[in-house]
């Protein structure tokens, strides 16, 4: 039994593809898992049940997409997968053609609401292409997709999905990372600087500049503080802007954005921090979504400094992990109060199971999905 996971824009060891989907499927006996991702990055991993290859050009140009199509088709013909798991929409049409030509089953892992992201996030340069795909892949292509896995629960209400053909597997912390670093919670001196982290897909809409503005005000009162910005920056303009900011504040702001940052790297940055900054701008593209870094922060027992304008505020408040601030009313007194709350913070749910990716659930869903497709899907020794 063979399963092929495909994402054209992310490396094969990207957190959701490898550590969540791939690792969950590798728990199934007699299942061979292969991941195809973008070129240019290779993270050392130890799961011998998963093969991984970086073959795609992640550039957004027309010819890059054409070559990616042929690469996908050639690799699929060589591997002969029984199930295709498509993790980006670019190759859905050739995946459907492959399904009908060779009898594979097709799962689409929905990691984004592309229509809302195109409209509100301003991330994608190939607007017309992505807008076309976003309008097609549910309205026209969904009848040909056998199963949908949703990375966010809110997608179930936002998207038109075939009845009883979807399941939700939120982007929580991989089960393999179930041993957080023992960073402790020793209380720092009253005037000591603190370490902040801002991570994830970094865009204007994700609030990175708001996070920097907050930090620079905080820095005036606590000059030994540090901010680390780590993740993927799709905009070259924003990347250059962040580089310049880091140069101007070289002793206080550190960036890890020029090369791909693994989920493991960001996970470790979060665990070594005193607090995490979450400053997403309010938009329909973010509404109802919980970013991975929030789950990682809660799992690691770190407080989240969040704008009261963020729609994550109420969720974080329920987890007893939120330290709020008003971006329009930062004063010396409010900064001192935030510093005090971070210093004295004690987590209630550190290492909580509610923050860990449901690999057993995904494994069971895959087996249930395939129970009518013959003995290949049985979890036999």
Cβ(291)–Cβ(207) under 8 Å? no
**Tokens representing residue 312 in the block:** 């994550």
Q: Which of 133-137, 178-182, 347-351 is the least confident region?
A: 178-182
Q: Which residue has the higher pLDDT, 324 or 284?
A: 324
Same domain, 68 and 200: no
Number of domains comprising the chain: 2
Instruction: Write the CA distances from 289 to 155, 240, 301, 342, 351, integer angstroms.
Output: 9, 28, 20, 25, 21
Q: State residue 114's pLDDT score.
A: 74
Write down how long the chain is: 381
Same domain, 217 and 268: yes
Rounded to the nearest 10°, the torsion over CA 298, 120, 57, 110 is 60
Same domain, 106 and 120: yes
In this prediction, residue 139 has a pLDDT band, given cuts at 50, 70 and 90, of confident
DSSP assigned state of 281: P
Q: State residue 381's pLDDT score.
A: 43
Same domain, 77 and 29: yes
Same domain, 215 and 284: yes
pLDDT digits (tens, 9 = 90+) for 16-46: 999 899 999 999 998 999 999 998 766 777 7
Same domain, 167 and 201: no
Same domain, 34 and 134: yes
Mean pLDDT score across all residues of the chain = 84
In this prediction, residue 124 has a pLDDT band, given cuts at 50, 70 and 90, of low
Q: State residue 380's pLDDT score.
A: 47
Same domain, 194 and 297: yes
Same domain, 251 and 288: yes
Same domain, 233 and 341: yes
Q: State residue 190's pLDDT score.
A: 67
Same domain, 25 and 167: yes
What's 265's domain CATH number? 3.40.50.2000
- CB neighbour list of residue 275: distance below 8 Å, 6 or more residues apart: 194, 195, 196, 197, 302, 303, 304, 305, 323, 342, 345
pLDDT above 90 covers a percentage of the chain that reads 44
Whole domain around residue 329: which residue ranges?
177-355
Q: Which residue has the higher pLDDT, 181 or 353?
A: 353
pLDDT digits (tens, 9 = 90+) for 176-214: 776 654 544 556 666 789 999 999 888 888 889 999 999
Same domain, 209 and 351: yes
């Amino acid at each position: 039994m063979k399963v092929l996971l495909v994402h054209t824009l992310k490396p094969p060891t990207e957190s959701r593809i490898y550590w969540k989907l791939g690792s969950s499927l590798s728990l199934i006996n007699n299942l061979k898992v292969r991941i195809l991702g973008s070129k240019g990055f290779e993270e050392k991993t130890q799961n011998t049940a998963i093969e991984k290859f970086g073959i795609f050009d992640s550039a957004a140009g027309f010819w890059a997409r054409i070559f990616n199509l042929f690469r996908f088709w050639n690799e699929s013909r060589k591997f002969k997968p029984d199930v295709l798991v498509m993790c980006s929409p670019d190759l859905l049409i050739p995946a459907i053609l492959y399904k009908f030509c060779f009898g594979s089953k097709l799962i689409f892992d929905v990691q984004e609401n592309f229509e809302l992201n195109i409209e509100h996030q301003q991330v994608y340069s190939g607007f017309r292409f992505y807008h076309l795909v976003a309008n097609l892949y549910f309205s026209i292509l969904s009848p040909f997709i056998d199963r949908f896995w949703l990375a966010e629960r809110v997608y179930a209400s936002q998207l038109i999905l075939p009845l009883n053909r979807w399941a939700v597997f939120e982007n929580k912390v991989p089960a393999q990372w179930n041993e957080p670093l023992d960073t402790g919670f020793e209380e720092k001196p009253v005037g000591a600087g603190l370490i902040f982290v801002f991570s994830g897909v970094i865009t204007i809409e994700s609030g990175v500049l708001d996070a920097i503005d907050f930090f620079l005000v905080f820095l005036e009162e606590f000059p030994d503080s540090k901010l680390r910005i780590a993740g993927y920056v799709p905009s070259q303009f924003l990347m250059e802007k962040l580089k310049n900011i880091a140069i101007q504040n070289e002793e206080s702001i550190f960036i890890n954005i020029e090369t791909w940052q693994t989920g493991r790297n960001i996970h470790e940055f979060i665990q070594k921090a005193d607090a995490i900054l979450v400053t997403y701008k309010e938009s329909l593209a973010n509404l109802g979504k919980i970013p991975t870094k929030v789950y990682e922060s809660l799992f690691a027992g770190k407080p989240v400094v969040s704008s009261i304008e963020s729609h994550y505020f109420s969720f974080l408040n329920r987890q007893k992990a939120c330290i709020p601030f008003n971006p329009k009313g930062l004063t010396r007194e409010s900064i001192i109060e935030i510093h005090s709350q971070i210093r004295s913070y004690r987590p209630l749910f550190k290492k909580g199971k509610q923050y860990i990716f449901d690999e057993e659930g995904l494994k069971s869903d895959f087996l249930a999905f395939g129970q009518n497709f013959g003995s290949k899907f049985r979890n036999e020794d």
